[in-house]
C-alpha cells in the first residue's frame, strides 16, 4: 500500500538553512520512497491569516516554490501545488466548519495565546483576532482531509491542529458516512532525528530571532552570515570543545560521519575558529551551490514556475473534484435531476425528464431530436429515408446498451455500428459540452 504524505508550507517568509535541514530536505527525501505518494503545497490561504502585505505573500510564494524545485522535488512523482489553486479546499472548509465544534476551536493554542495576551494587557479578549485565525485549524483540516492523507509531517506546534483534523473527520464520518469512512483519519508525524539547527547565536534558527543563515543568498551572503556565528574566545591553537559549539552542530547537520570525526578532531587539536568557519562555508557550498544556481534560474522564469504549479493543481484536482462531489452528495447537496422529488417518499418515479421528438424534414426525410427537461436540444439525428429506420435507431438509443459517444471540439456525436447517427449542437465551451453529455447519459440510462 502507498502512504499518502501531505504537508503545507505557509508562504510568509524566505526559506533559510533551518527550514532546509528541518523540513525541506527530509520531505524531499521522503517523497522519493517507492511507496510514498506525497502532496506538498504552498499554504497561501493560511499566509493571508498572518500577513496583510500582498507583495510579501507573492514574493514568498515564488521563493518557496523555487526552493523546493531547486532542492530536487520531483513534481512527476510528488504532487506540488498552491492551496489557492484548489477551489475545492475552501468549499470543503465550509462543510467542515459546519461540523467543527466551536468549543474545539476555542481550545486551539494559537487562538488561546492571542486571547491570553489580550487579557493580560487589559484589552478585549478578542481584540485584533480575525475569524481567519480562529478557524485556522478548520482550513488546515480541509487541506489534509481533501486528499485523505495518512501522514502529516509537521513541527510540534502543529500537532494539535492535526489532532483537530482527526476529530473533525471522525465527526463528519459519523454524521454523513452511513457506515463508510469518508475521510481517512490523519496522523501527525514528528521526525525525531531531523536536525533542528541552531542559529547564529545558538538559539533555534528562526526568523523571529533574526539569527538565520540564508539558504539561497549569494556565496558572499553565506560567508558573511557564517562569519557572524558566535563562538567562544579560545585562541588559535587552544583546544575547542565541539559539543558546546553550535558551529560544530551546524557542521554536523551537513557532513558525512568521517567528515564529522575529522572536524571534531581538528577542533580538539586547536583549529582556529576562523579556519573552522571557512570549513563550514565550504561544506555548505558543496551542499547548496548547485541548488542555488537552479534556484536563481527558476526565480528568473516565474512564468515557468506558474506552469509547473498549475499542472500540479490540475493533478491535485483530479482527486479533489470527484471527491468533493461525493462529499456534497453525502451532506445532501445533490442534483435535482439525479434525485427526482418524490422518489424518496415512495411515490412513482418521476417521469423521464428528457424526451424524443420525431419529425419530418423539409426534404421529406425522417429525423428525431432529443430534448432535455428544459427543452434544450441534446441531439439531432441524421436523416433517415423512412420512419421505421429512424424509429429503430431511436429505440436502440433508449435500450440501455452502452453509448458510443465521440467528442469533437465542444460537441459530440452518438455512434451505432460504426456510423454517426446523431449529433449534439456545438456548445459554448467544453464544460457546457460535458454537462450536456451528463444530461444525455441520465436521459438514456435504463429506468427501472
Q: Is 264 annotated as a binding residue?
A: no
Q: From the CB of 284, what's the least distance to ligand TRP, in Å?
A: 25
Contact 171, 164 (CB under 8 A): no
Q: Is 207 annotated as a binding residue?
A: yes
Residues 6+ apart with CB under 8 A from 234: 240, 273
Touching ligand TRP, residues 3-32 (CB under 6 A): 6-8, 10
Residue placing its CB nearer to ligand TRP in the complex, 91 or 329: 91
43 binds ligand TRP (CB under 6 A): yes
Structural element, H or E, at residue 293: helix 273-299
Q: Is 197 annotated as a binding residue?
A: yes
Among 29-37, 136-144, 274-282, 340-348, the segment contacting ligand TRP (CB under 6 A): 136-144
> Residue 38 and residue 24: Cα distance in Å, rounded?
13
Q: What is the dihedral of CA 279, 283, 289, 290, to 10 degrees?
A: 150
Q: Provide the β-strand partners of residue 9.
A: 42
Burial label, 61 (beta-carbon count in 10 A; 0-12, 13-18, 19+): buried
394 binds ligand TRP (CB under 6 A): no
Other C-beta atoms lying within 10 Å of the C-beta of residue 124: 10
Q: Which residue is nearest to ligand TRP (CB)?
A: 8
44 binds ligand TRP (CB under 6 A): no
Touching ligand TRP, residues 87-116 (CB under 6 A): none
Instruction: Rule CB under 6 A: choose which of 37, 44, 143, 372 binds ligand TRP.
Output: 143
Among 103-111, 139-147, 363-371, 428-436, the segment contacting ligand TRP (CB under 6 A): 139-147
Of the candidates 95, 22, 89, 84, the one whose C-alpha atom is nearest the C-alpha of residue 58 is 84
> Residue 88 and residue 141: Cα distance in Å, rounded?
13
> Residue 88 and residue 203: Cα distance in Å, rounded?
40
144 binds ligand TRP (CB under 6 A): yes
The owner of cell 465527526 is 171
Among 68-76, 152-160, 315-323, 358-366, the segment contacting ligand TRP (CB under 6 A): 152-160
Residue placing its CB nearer to ligand TRP in the complex, 140 or 197: 140
> Residue 221 and residue 240: Cα distance in Å, rounded?
26
Instruction: Rule CB under 6 A: choose which of 62, 154, 226, 298 binds ligand TRP.
Output: 154
Q: From the CB of 143, what's the least distance to ligand TRP, in Å?
A: 4
> Residue 125 and residue 119: Cα distance in Å, rounded?
5
Of the candidates 341, 390, 350, 342, the one whose C-alpha atom is nearest the C-alpha of residue 370 is 390
Q: From the CB of 161, what's the least distance to ligand TRP, in Å?
A: 6
Concatenated DSSP letters of 191-257: -TTS---B-TTSSBP-GGGT---BSSS-HHHHHHHHHT-----PPTTS---GGG-HHHHHHHTTS-H
Instruction: Rule CB under 6 A: choose which of 158, 173, 279, 381 binds ligand TRP.
Output: 158
Q: Is 204 annotated as a binding residue?
A: yes
Q: From the CB of 367, what's the least distance to ligand TRP, in Å?
A: 56
Contact 215, 288 (CB under 8 A): yes
Total residues at interface with ligand TRP (CB under 6 A): 12
152 binds ligand TRP (CB under 6 A): yes
Q: From the CB of 50, what's the least distance to ligand TRP, in Å?
A: 9
Residue placing its CB nearer to ligand TRP in the complex, 158 or 245: 158
Residue ranges of the binding site: 10-12, 18-19, 143, 155-157, 197, 204-208
Applying CB under 6 A, the residues found at the interface with ligand TRP are: 6-8, 10, 43, 46, 140, 143-144, 152, 154, 158
Residue ranges of the binding site for ATP: 10-12, 18-19, 155-157, 197, 204-208
Amino acid at each position: 500500500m502507498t502512504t499518502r504524505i501531505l504537508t503545507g508550507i505557509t508562504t510568509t517568509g524566505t526559506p533559510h538553512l533551518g527550514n532546509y535541514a528541518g523540513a525541506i530536505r527530509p520531505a524531499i527525501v521522503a517523497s522519493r520512497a517507492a511507496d510514498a505518494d506525497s502532496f506538498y503545497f504552498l499554504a497561501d490561504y493560511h499566509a493571508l491569516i498572518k500577513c496583510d502585505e500582498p507583495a510579501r505573500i507573492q514574493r514568498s510564494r515564488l521563493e518557496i516554490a523555487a526552493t523546493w524545485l531547486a532542492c530536487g522535488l520531483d513534481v512527476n512523482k510528488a504532487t506540488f501545488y498552491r492551496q489557492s489553486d484548489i477551489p475545492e479546499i475552501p468549499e470543503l472548509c465550509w462543510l467542515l466548519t459546519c461540523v467543527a465544534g466551536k468549543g474545539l476551536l476555542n481550545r486551539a493554542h494559537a487562538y488561546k495565546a492571542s486571547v491570553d495576551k489580550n487579557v493580560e494587557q487589559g484589552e478585549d479578549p478578542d481584540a485584533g483576532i480575525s475569524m481567519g485565525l480562529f478557524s485556522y485549524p478548520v482550513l488546515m483540516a480541509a487541506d489534509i482531509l481533501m486528499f485523505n492523507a495518512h501522514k502529516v509531517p509537521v513541527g510540534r506546534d502543529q500537532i494539535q491542529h492535526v489532532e483537530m483534523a482527526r476529530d473533525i473527520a471522525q465527526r463528519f464520518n459519523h454524521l454523513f458516512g452511513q457506515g463508510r469512512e469518508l475521510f481517512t483519519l490523519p496522523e501527525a508525524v514528528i521526525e525525531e532525528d531531523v536536525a533542528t539547527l541552531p542559529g547564529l547565536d545558538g538559539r533555534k534558527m528562526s526568523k523571529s530571532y533574526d539569527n538565520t543563515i540564508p539558504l539561497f543568498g549569494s556565496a558572499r551572503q553565506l560567508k558573511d552570515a557564517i562569519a557572524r556565528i558566535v563562538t567562544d574566545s579560545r585562541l588559535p591553537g587552544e583546544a575547542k570543545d565541539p559539543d558546546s559549539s553550535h558551529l560544530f552542530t551546524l557542521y554536523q547537520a551537513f557532513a558525512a560521519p568521517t567528515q564529522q570525526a575529522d572536524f571534531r578532531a581538528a577542533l580538539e587539536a586547536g583549529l582556529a575558529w576562523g579556519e573552522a568557519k571557512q570549513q563550514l562555508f565550504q561544506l555548505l557550498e558543496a551542499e547548496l551551490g548547485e541548488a542555488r544556481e537552479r534556484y536563481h534560474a527558476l526565480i528568473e522564469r516565474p512564468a515557468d514556475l506558474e506552469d509547473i504549479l498549475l499542472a500540479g493543481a490540475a493533478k491535485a484536482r483530479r482527486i479533489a473534484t470527484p471527491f468533493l462531489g461525493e462529499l456534497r452528495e453525502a451532506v445532501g447537496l445533490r442534483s435535482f435531476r439525479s434525485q427526482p422529488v418524490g422518489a424518496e417518499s415512495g411515490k412513482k418515479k418521476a417521469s423521464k425528464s428528457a424526451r424524443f421528438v420525431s419529425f419530418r424534414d423539409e426534404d421529406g426525410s425522417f429525423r428525431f431530436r432529443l430534448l432535455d427537461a428544459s427543452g434544450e436540444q441534446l441531439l439531432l439525428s441524421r436523416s433517415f429515408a423512412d420512419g421505421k429506420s429512424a424509429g429503430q435507431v431511436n429505440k436502440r438509443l433508449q435500450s440501455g446498451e452502452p453509448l458510443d459517444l465521440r467528442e469533437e471540439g465542444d460537441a459530440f456525436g452518438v455512434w451505432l455500428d460504426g456510423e454517426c447517427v446523431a449529433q449534439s449542437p456545438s456548445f459554448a465551451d467544453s464544460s457546457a459540452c460535458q454537462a450536456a453529455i451528463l444530461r444525455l447519459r441520465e436521459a438514456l440510462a435504463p429506468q427501472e
